[in-house]
Amino acid sequence: AAAEGDAGDLRGLRVVVSAGGTREPIDPVRYIGNRSSGRQGVALALSAAERGADVVLVAAHVDDGVLAAASARPGLRVVRAGTAAELGTAIAAEAERADIVVMAAAVADYRVAEVSPLKRAKESAPVGGITLDLIENDDILAGLVRSRREGQTIVGFAAETPGDGETLLDRGRRKAARKGADLLAVNEVGWSKGFEATDNAVTIISADGEVIGARRGSKDDVAEALWDAVRMVRESRAK
């Protein structure tokens, strides 16, 4: 739940949050997916509704049970999307009326070039292995930034695995500069970090790399910190 002082601070604002992992079909029974549970995005949507916003949750694949809490919530509408392309279409439509858009979904960077209408069979494949051709998906966040309206706030997430001579924040700052979103929530992921975990740790930076906030805690705590940061940048811009 929101802290006392925060109750209702997003009232009157239209918020769109994407959550979960997209799934890119290979054939009717297989897909390329990722480990996103949707928990952080759903926590963001619930917390925004709690703080008074009118919320649309654009949900890609979200773990069973995680979405149930959101579906029953007044002030929150759920739109489903399967692939990155579907998510992009849904977000673009919802963003037209939105004051704040948060891209918490784990969007597939690539899709399968030729989706087979029939289940692929080994019988009709080369012996020993196959190659799948992949095509890069549109960057939804970059598109939102390009079409950002006056007064609209765009927020991205960056899941990074550090360890190649660069700190998490360095990588985050490069991504923030590249993406141009008003805020980027940078979090460390790894084999046992970030995804199925109930806890999360993020550093929230502006497009020019300034640290606006940081939070380690439950995904609810991180959600509250993110809305605090959003409110801060909106207030500083309104001056």
Residues in the annotated binding site for CTP: 109, 119, 157, 175, 179
Q: Which of 90, 115, 119, 113 is nearest to 103 (CA)?
A: 90
Whether residue 216 contacts residue 188, with contact meaning beta carbons closer than 8 Å, is answered with no
Interacting residues with ligand CTP between 58 and 77 (CB under 6 A): none
Identify the residue whose tokens are 């929530």. 185
Is residue 34 annotated as part of the catalytic site, yes or no? yes
Is residue 22 close enough to count as binding ligand CTP by CB under 6 A? no
* Binding track, positions 77-106, relative to ligand CTP; x by CB under 6 A: -------x------------------x-x-
Q: Which is nearer to Ca ion, 53 or 155 (CB)?
A: 155
Among 56, 141, 176, 225, binds ligand CTP (CB under 6 A): 141
At residue 67's C-alpha, the angle toward residues 110 and 101, to 5°, is 60
Interacting residues with Ca ion between 76 and 115 (CB under 5 A): 109
Taking the CB of residue 131, how many other CB atoms lie within 10 A of it? 6
Distances (CA, A) of 143 to 43, 92, 105: 24, 9, 15
Q: Which is nearer to ligand CTP, 55 or 140 (CB)?
A: 140
Interacting residues with ligand CTP between 110 and 139 (CB under 6 A): 137, 139
Is residue 220 close enough to count as binding ligand CTP by CB under 6 A? no
Task: Provide φ and ψ at 230, rounded to 5°.
Answer: -60, -45
Distances (CA, A) of 58 to 39, 67, 155, 216, 222: 13, 11, 14, 25, 19
Is residue 202 close enough to count as binding ligand CTP by CB under 6 A? no
Catalytic residue IDs:
34
The contact set with ligand CTP (CB under 6 A) reads: 84, 103, 105, 107, 109, 137, 139-141, 156-159, 175
